[in-house]
Chain A
Amino acid sequence: GAGVSQSPRYKVAKRGQDVALRCDPISGHVSLFWYQQALGQGPEFLTYFQNEAQLDKSGLPSDRFFAERPEGSVSTLKIQRTQQEDSAVYLCASSGPGLQETQYFGPGTRLLVL
């Protein structure tokens, strides 16, 4: 079956440019997560959705980061006015509704801000 997909896989942006990263979760998964993984580090939680509701956005590093999931399926992570420190791999994961559910990860989008 289809797993979590993310696009684009690679993105090069000039500092100050806005970017949008897309996540297609596993069909039927109500929970969706975004993580930021810096080079040599573990994933860091950014935000979480249950269906279309954003229930936790405590990990978003600044108001330049914005995520949405308007119809409860596809999600977009938007970064405005990108900075060099935003360079990282952005991972999306989806799961069933329970706290004990396993998260299944996409391949990530590697963002490089020049």
Chain B
Amino acid sequence: AQSVAQPEDQVNVAEGNPLTVKCTYSVSGNPYLFWYVQYPNRGLQFLLKYITGDNLVKGSYGFEAEFNKSQTSFHLKKPSALVSDSALYFCAVRDGNTGGFKTIFGAGTRLFVKA
């Protein structure tokens, strides 16, 4: 069965500093991994995904994520945080071999960026 863990409920970072939002996953087949961001009263917006290929994936708004197969992780990163990055971030996984189209989301990590 697929599962996703976001071990931090909240991450606080100062504007201009690098940020990391952690995600670990479990699937029996090949993982398809996604990051979404949710602003208040809005739907989820896609940031980036890993399907295959280069382990470092670049996405929207300057975000990137690194796929680490041995650690089963897909941490979201940004070199320099902005106050406007403050939002709720969700990691999601789909089993590329056996899970069909079912996508499992983590519980979310709230990011606060202070000016």
How many chain-A residues does the 8 Å CB contact rule pick out? Answer: 27
Cβ-based interface call for B44 (8 A)? yes
The 0/1 profile, CB within 8 Å of A marked 1, for residues 81-112 of chain B is 00000000010101010001111111110000
B90 touches A48 (CB 8 A): no
How many chain-B residues does the 8 Å CB contact rule pick out? Answer: 25
B108 touches A33 (CB 8 A): no
A43 touches B90 (CB 8 A): yes
> Shortest distance in angstroms between B102's beta carbon and chain A's nearest beta carbon?
5
The 0/1 profile, CB within 8 Å of A marked 1, for residues 2-45 of chain B is 00100000000000000000000000000010101000011111
Which residue of chain B has the shortest Cβ distance to A99 in the bound complex?
Answer: B96
Residues of A9-40 contacting chain B, CB below 8 A: 31, 33, 35, 40
Residues of A97-114 contacting chain B, CB below 8 A: 99-100, 102-108
B44 touches A48 (CB 8 A): no
CA–CA, A103 to B104, complex, Å?
12
A-B contact count (CB 8 A): 61
CA–CA, A100 to B31, complex, Å?
10
Which residue of chain A has the shortest Cβ distance to B91 in the bound complex?
Answer: A42
Please give, as numbers and ranges, the residues of chain A lying within 8 Å of B103 by CB-CB distance. Answer: 33, 45, 103
B102 touches A45 (CB 8 A): yes
Cβ-based interface call for A62 (8 A)? no
Interchain CB contact (< 8 A) of B46 among A40, A55, A99, A102? A102
Given known A107-B42, A108-B43, contact A99–B105 (CB-CB < 8 A): no
Show 9 residue pairs from A and B whose CB-CB distance is below 8 angstroms, ordered by the A residue.
A4-B43, A33-B101, A40-B107, A41-B107, A42-B108, A99-B101, A100-B49, A100-B96, A107-B41
Binding site for A on B (CB under 8 A): 4, 32, 34, 36, 41-46, 49, 51, 90, 92, 94, 96, 100-108
